[in-house]
Amino acid sequence: MDEYLSLGHMQLVPGEDDSLYENTSSKLICFLPPRAVFKESSTTTKTRVVFDASAKSTTGVSLNDILMVGPTVQQDLISIVLRFRMHRCAMTADISKMYRQIRVHPEDYDLQRILWRRSSDQQLKQYQLLSVTYGVAPASFLATICLNQLASEEASSCPLAAEVMS
């Protein structure tokens, strides 16, 4: 969670008082319960945080229930493998924290709130997640469409990138 703060992927909710659970405004607010996922075999990331956007609120509805998932925008695996074999050279990449590299619109910050404190002797505080969150239904669509858009923009300004994209 400290990493989320230091990388600017979450922020303290501005102007909130001590009424953690009361929503006195008319805006929609969703709290996502976090949980730690442990992976003993990983040498780089032994623990990661997953936010449960499928957790039902007191109304019986979750954030994932009200979000659109989006269409499948990536090609099927067979097409990718066949195209990969057509070229003399191939390039692959791994994008670190891919979902967290994509900011959500500030109007949507309140849909990704969490309660957190660094230690049990501190008071719970409200935070907003500022980036696409793993566990939210449209996360895969949003990440893929952003990559496609960036690649398309780069291809239009760079002949080499256009060749790689084809």
pLDDT in tens, 36-51: 888 888 777 678 888 9
The overall average pLDDT reported for the chain is 85
Residue 114 per-residue DSSP state: E
Classify strands 34-38 and 10-12 as parallel, antiparallel or unpaired.
unpaired
Residue 7 CA to chain centroid, in angstroms? 13
Q: Given a cut of 80, is residue 57 above it in pLDDT?
A: yes
- What is the pTM (predicted TM-score) of this model? 0.78
The token pair at 152 is 């398309």
Identify the pLDDT of residue 159: 66
Return the closest-CA partner of residue 12 out of 126, 137, 148, 129: 126
55 against 74, higher pLDDT: 55
CATH at 49 = 3.10.10
Domain count, the chain: 1
Q: Given a cut of 90, is residue 131 above it in pLDDT?
A: yes
Domain with 82, as residue range(s), is 2-13+24-165
78 occurs within a structural domain: yes
30 CB contacts (<8 Å, ≥6 apart)? Answer: 53, 57, 63, 110, 111, 112, 113
What share of the chain in percent tops pLDDT 70? 88
Q: Given a cut of 80, is residue 85 above it in pLDDT?
A: yes
19 occurs within a structural domain: no
Distance CA 100, CA 50 (A): 12
18 occurs within a structural domain: no
44 occurs within a structural domain: yes
Distance CA 3, CA 117 (A): 14
112 occurs within a structural domain: yes
54 against 72, higher pLDDT: 54
